[in-house]
Structures are given as structure tokens and as C-alpha cells.
Structure 1
């Protein structure tokens, strides 16, 4: 029996200065039909202590701690193994969500026969300045080809992120989907493309409900040879996933 409609998986690593704000934004949700799974990837600051204090106060918060640092992909995979919600979404431990973030996903999944729902986001710097343009609200239901185009685009309100999307857990489990632990960049895009190729319909909504905070020193802000390798490997994985899916569809005709 599914205990909660939505399982939120929050990954955290050395975000002691920010994670209270992140968790507080989850606590403030207008729709409480969810649970929160926090995966601490062996933080060396006070992150674990802070999350444990929340776990004591809220029975719907559970904290899982890695014994060694394994990276964000492994942390998300750990969260997936412990999730019991019918639906899944992800939050980074140094971002924030709007109060109707959960209700947005649950309402649309309840009203529409779709396999993924998206929302828009605010791209902010550490001072709270929004860097992206917030457009008039638009919604549409699309198929695989269109959603994959939107996922691999470097602009827009869909893109390859996981924190502005909610998924059906049974689709993830039945197809044994997981995040690639050999990537530090674009692992979320690979996961989304893999999910899209085994799902049917996708509800795209650009209403901004997630606050993505660009911080100095984050892995996405750094340029290194390893990052270039990850981008190349991720693109090859995406290409192979799309190619294999296309072949399978042709074989079924």
C-alpha cells in the first residue's frame, strides 16, 4: 500500500548554510500528501546534524546518510530505493520551492492521464536576483519526440533537470532506471531521456515553482577537463538511448 502520494528525494552535501531554508520551504507546502527523503552524501559540515534535527520533529522526514561520498547520482539512487510514493520528484539541498510545488504535481497527475509533469523555475544568484525571463503561463500535453527535444535543449523551462519534474515511480522501477554514477554533469538529462523513451504522455507547464540558486564554486560553475568528458559521455548515452528506442519502435510495427 502506498503511504504517500509523492516522495520528495532531497540530496545534500555540505549545504549546512542553506538546507534549513530548503527544508522549511518543503514544510510550508499547502498540500501535505508527501514524504521527504533526505540523502546526505557524507557531508563534513553540520548538514547531517541539521537534517537529523528535522527528522526528530517530523515523522514524514527520513534521513539516510552515506558512509562515504559517492556523488549526486548515487545519492538520488539511494533515495529511489527508499521511496514509497506513487510519484517521485527531486530537490537539491541548497534550493527552495514555492508553497504550491507539491500541489501542482499532485493536482495535474490526478486530473490528467500523463506520465510526467513539469513546472517552471526561477534561476537566481545567491543575492536572490532572478536571471531568467519568466514568461506567461503555458501548458501542453506532448508525446515522446517533443519532450525529448525539450529535455536536451539548453534553454527553455523543461531542459534536463529533475527538480522541475515529477515521475511515476512504477515506470522507474519496471524499467530499472537509475542515475549514471560515472557522470558528475548531465546525469539528470540522461535519466530524463531514458524515462521519456519508456513513458507515453508528458504535461509541460512553465509556471515557476522552483528556485534554482546558482552558487559560486558549484560543479556546474567550474570548468575542467573532467566536465568536458562528462558532457561527451552524457551526449553519447542520450544518443544511444534515443537510437535504441527508435529501433525498438520500428521492430514493433
Structure 2
């Protein structure tokens, strides 16, 4: 009987974590363990989790004595997991009651990784349209595919790289030393998921929206730091080397995949007009223009928003738009 190890990094989520844990406890499939890694929370997260663990021995708590970040929390969960498969769930999200039973049904087909679809919701549980937050609809194939084919789908923007989306065989992680990049609080999913897919012999897909991805204004995704730009670029450099070594046939698909991330890294720099790294921005600009050229006259088409940003970056105008917006906000705050 397949055992699922669920890993939950938790930092200051006392308001949400009980709902997350309850959604797991209510699963129709019950052969699982849950490893909650409390990343030195300063609220009552530890107490809420400990109370839950005392009621159900499938739930286990690991405490970090200092804040180490989401990557280290997930890595600790991998280290302590004993299941056949590992499933990463965030501490403020939920899963539908049939999530694990549907996943296990796919696993029993001889699968190394299963991708599940998701829905967006606000912190009150209200559904959010994907397009409203510029998420794209997953385009899952109806059949199982090889790991390389799954990477091609990822690079072609048919599937996403969220850590919660891929439930992967634990031996795939261990044999290939796949861990989340230490010290990165942004872009850690992007830097990891392609490896999980590539080293999986067979990948399956579940189009039913079994995961509820909660959007909060305080999440790292909505509040950038200047360092996030360099973190993202580190992941891009690693991916470049991986593709060059293992799947050079996907070079164009890779350019299509990393170009929006390069634009994002550049845009984050633009948000900090008094702290920008000009040399780094110049490097990003050159990479953006190089990859744009690679995609010219191909079947890969960027969004209108990204095309506009590329034009503004080309003529070094994007930073002035962000600068105008920066001072506009400062003016409102001073009133």
C-alpha cells in the first residue's frame, strides 16, 4: 500500500494551519504521514501544530531554532520522510478530500511523479479567477509521458512549476540529490521542479482541481525584496547548465521558459530605484535580448505584457516607468 509523506513548511501561519491540517486529516485515503516544519514562527503556529499532532500520530512536528526559510524547511521534511512519495503543501493551503486517493490511483500505474491541478482562493475561501492574477490554465495531456516530455511541457508553459503541483517518488529525490536551494525564499520552486520531472521515468496528470492555492497579500510572491532578483537569476544559470548537459534538444523551449523569469528579475531591480545593481541589470538586459533573438521566427509567442516589457528594456525605459510609480506612491504616503 503506497504511503504518502506530506511535507509542510510553516512560518507564522497560526490563522491558517489548522484548516490545512484538517483538509489532510479528512482524506478518503489514510496511509500518509505529515511532517510539519515550524520555521521558527513567532506566533502560535507551534502550539496549534503540536495540539494537532497530539491528537493524531500521523502528524509530526519539527522545530527550527532559527528561521531558515522555506527551502531548508522542505529539505528537512524530505530528510525525515519515510513514505514512497513526497507531497509538498504550503501551510496556508488546502487539498480536496479525494486528493490523495486520486493521486494513489495514478501511482499504481507505475508512475514516478503525478501532477495535480489547482484552484486559486483568497484567505476567506472565495474562488479567484486565474487570469485575474495572471496565472495560466494548465494544459495537461490525457496520457502519461516520459520525464523529458514533461520537462518540455514545463518549458513550453503548458504546466507550472509550483512545488505543490508535483507529487514525486522519494527515491527520485534521493538518488539524484534533488533538494530545494538553500537560502532562497523566491524562485525555489522554479529551481527544483524541472529536475523532479526529468529524473522521473513516467509522469501522470490529474486535471481535476484538487489543490486550493490561497493568495495572501503578505506572501513572498507579492512582496519582493531586491535579493529575489539575484535568487531568480541563480536558478536560471543552474537551469542553463542542466539543459546544456542533459537535454540540449530543448534549448529553444528553455529560452521560452526562462525569458519571462529574466524579465521578472529585471523588473524587481526596477522596483528599488535607490538600490539597483546597474551592472547586474545590464547583464539581465543582455540575456533578455539574446533569448528574445533565439525565439524570433519560432512557434513560441510571449504574452503582450512581456513583449511590451522587452521593448522598454531594450531602450532602457522600463526603470523610468517604475521610478515614476515609486515617486507617485511616496507622494500618496506623505499626504
Deviation of 1:4 (Å): 6.4
Please state if 1:28 is matched with 2:35: no
SS in 1 for 2:163: coil
Corresponding residue number in structure 2 for 1:15? 13
Q: 1:91 aligns with which of 68, 89, 92?
A: 89
1:147 and 2:150 correspond:
yes
Q: Distance in 1 between matches of 2:97 and 2:142?
A: 20
In angstroms, what is the RMSD of aligned CA positions?
2.0
Question: How far apart, in 1, do the equivalents of 2:224 and 2:140 lie?
Answer: 34
Instruction: Judge conservation of contact 2:68–2:183 (CA < 8 Å) in 1.
Output: no
Counterparts of 1:219 and 1:136, CA distance in 2: 26
Q: Which of 1 and 2 has higher RCO (CA within 8 Å, sep 6+)?
A: 1
Match of residue 120, structure 1, among 117, 120, 124? 117
Q: Deviations along 1:149-175, whole A, 9 cap, x unmatched?
A: 33345x55x311121221111111111
Structure 1 equivalent of residue 44 of structure 2: 46
User: TM-score with structure 1 length normalisation?
Assistant: 0.89
1:71-86 equivalence runs, <5 A:
71-86=69-84
- Structure whose CA Rg is larger: 2
Query: CA 1:141–1:40 in structure 2 vs 1: closer, same or farther (change >3 Å)?
Result: same
1:133-190: per-residue Cα shift (whole Å, max 9, x none)?
778986321223331133345x55x311121221111111111211101322121222
Equivalent runs, 1:172-183 vs 2, <5 Å? 172-183=173-184
Task: Report how many residues are paired.
Answer: 242
Shift of 1:115: 1.2
After superposition, the C-alpha distances for 1:15-58 in whole angstroms (9 at most, x for unaligned) are 00100111010011000011111111010000000000011000
Per-residue Cα deviation, 1:177-225 (whole angstroms, up to 9, x for no partner) = 1110132212122211122232222112221000001100211002332
Partner of 1:193: 194
Q: Which runs of 5+ in 1 are unaligned?
A: 248-253
* TM-score normalised over the length of structure 2: 0.68
Tell me if the contact between 1:115 and 1:199 (Cα under 8 Å) persists in the aligned partners: yes
Q: For the Cα contact (< 8 Å) 2:178–2:192, is it kept in 1?
A: yes
Question: Could you tell which deviates more after superposition, 219-228 or 63-72?
Answer: 219-228
State the alpha-carbon separation in 2 of the partners of residues 174 and 146 from structure 1: 20
- Aligned residue number for residue 251 of structure 1: none
Greater share of helix? 2
Take 2:6 and 2:29, find their aligned partners in 1: how far apart are those partners?
13
Question: Partners in 1 of 2:189 and 2:25 — Cα distance?
Answer: 25
- 1:76–1:179 CA contact under 8 A, matched in 2: yes
Between the aligned partners of 1:60 and 1:4, the Cα distance in structure 2 is 15
CA contact (8 A) 1:9 1:80 kept: yes
**C-alpha distance in 2, partners of 1:185/1:245?**
25
Q: For residues 172 and 8 of structure 2, what CA distance do their matches in structure 1 show?
A: 20
Counterpart of 2:53 in structure 1 is 55
2 CA distance for matches of 1:202 and 1:21?
29
Partners in 2 of 1:87 and 1:172 — Cα distance? 10
